Amino acid sequence: MNATIQYNSRKLQINLRKPIDISIPLRASENNVRAWYVNAPKIEPAEDGDWKIAVKNGACINFNNISFNPHAHGTHTECVGHITEKVHSVNKHLNQFFFLAEVITVAPERLNGDFVISEKQLKFALGNKKREAVVIRTMPNTREKLSAHYSNTNPTYMLEDAAIYLKEKGIKHLLIDLPSVDKEKDECQLLAHNAFWNTSGKLRLDATITEFIFVPNTVEDGEYFLNLQIAPFENDASPSKPILYEVLS
C-alpha cells in the first residue's frame, strides 16, 4: 500500500507496506545491548508475598515489572533536558512525529587514537540536501551492534564541529547507531550534545538526539520518511521506535 501525502511544499509517495524498524529491542538478557557501566535490564513478574504473578505460576495474567535505563539499554530519544539543570521532558517537547530524513553511512576517522565523525564527513554526505532529520549508520555495520557491551570501550563519537554543522544546517533530529554522540569519558564536557542543543544560546527545545539505533545493510543511503515514536515518559529520555518509510517519488 502506497500513500501520497502533502509534506510542506512537496507531495510525497510513501511505501507503507515495508516499514523499516531501526530500533533495538529491549530484552531481559545479558546479550541486551548496553553501555554506561550498568547491568542487564530486568523483566520479571511482580510479587505478592512469595507468589510471583505469572500464568505459569497459576495466575490468570502475566504481570511483569521492568527495570532498565533508557540511556543505557537500547534505542532511546532524548531532549536537551538530558544535560540541563532545569527538567525538560522529551514527551512534552517532541510533539511532531513525522519528518523527512536522510540516511547516511560514515566510516569514522582516526583522531588521536579515537574514532570520530567529523564535520567534513557530514558535509560530504549531506551536501545541499535540506532535511529535518539525519540517520547516521557507522562502519563497520555488523549485527554485533544489537548485543554489544560498550562500557570502557571508547566507542566512536561525534566531534563538536560536526554537531555545530548539523545545528546550523537546521537538522532537528539526529539519529545515530552509537551509545552517545559524545566521547565515553570526556570529563563531562559533552561537546556534541551542547553544540547540537545550543546550550550557550537559545535552547533548541524541539530538537532530539536518538542513540542506539541499528540500520541494516540492506537499507540504502538516501531520502526516507521518518516516524519517530516514543513512549510517553515524562523524562529527559524515552525508549523509542524510529521507523523509516521509502520515499517513492
Query: Of 42-46, 96-100, 232-236, 245-249, where does mean pLDDT reach its minimum?
Result: 245-249
- pLDDT at residue 9 in the model: 83
* Whether residue 249 has pLDDT greater than 90: no
Task: Give the separation between CA 49 and CA 59, rounded to whole angstroms.
Answer: 14
> How confident is the prediction for the chain on average, in pLDDT?
96
Backbone angles phi, psi at 139, to 5 degrees: -105, 150
Write the pLDDT tens digit of every residue in 137-178.
999 999 999 999 999 999 999 999 999 999 999 999 999 999
- pLDDT at residue 67 in the model: 98
pTM beyond 0.75, yes or no: yes
Write the pLDDT tens digit of every residue in 29-54.
999 999 999 999 999 999 998 889 99
* Residue 56, CA distances (Å) to 28, 41, 50, 65 in order: 18, 22, 15, 16
* Whether residue 4 has pLDDT greater than 90: no
Task: Give the separation between CA 199 and CA 201, rounded to whole angstroms.
Answer: 5
Task: Give the separation between CA 237 and CA 212, rounded to whole angstroms.
Answer: 13
Task: Give the separation between CA 227 and CA 207, rounded to whole angstroms.
Answer: 15
Band of residue 3 on the pLDDT scale cut at 50, 70, 90: confident
Half-sphere exposure of 75 (CA within 13 A, CB side): 24
**Residues in Cβ contact with 165 at an 8 Å cutoff, skipping those fewer than 6 apart:** 119, 122, 123
Query: Of 9-13, 68-72, 174-178, 233-237, where does mean pLDDT reach its minimum?
Result: 9-13
Specify whether the CB–CB gap between 78 and 228 falls below 8 A: no
What average pLDDT does range 196-214 have in this prediction?
98
* Whether residue 1 has pLDDT greater than 80: no
C-alpha cell at 237: 529520555
What average pLDDT does range 90-97 have in this prediction?
97
- pLDDT at residue 82 in the model: 98
Nearest C-alpha neighbor of 137 from the set 98, 177, 174: 177
Taken in order of first residue, the domains within the chain and their CATH numbers are 2-26+70-246 (3.50.30.50)
What average pLDDT does range 57-83 have in this prediction?
97
Specify whether the CB–CB gap between 238 and 23 falls below 8 A: no
Write the pLDDT tens digit of every residue in 105-134.
999 999 999 999 999 999 999 999 999 999
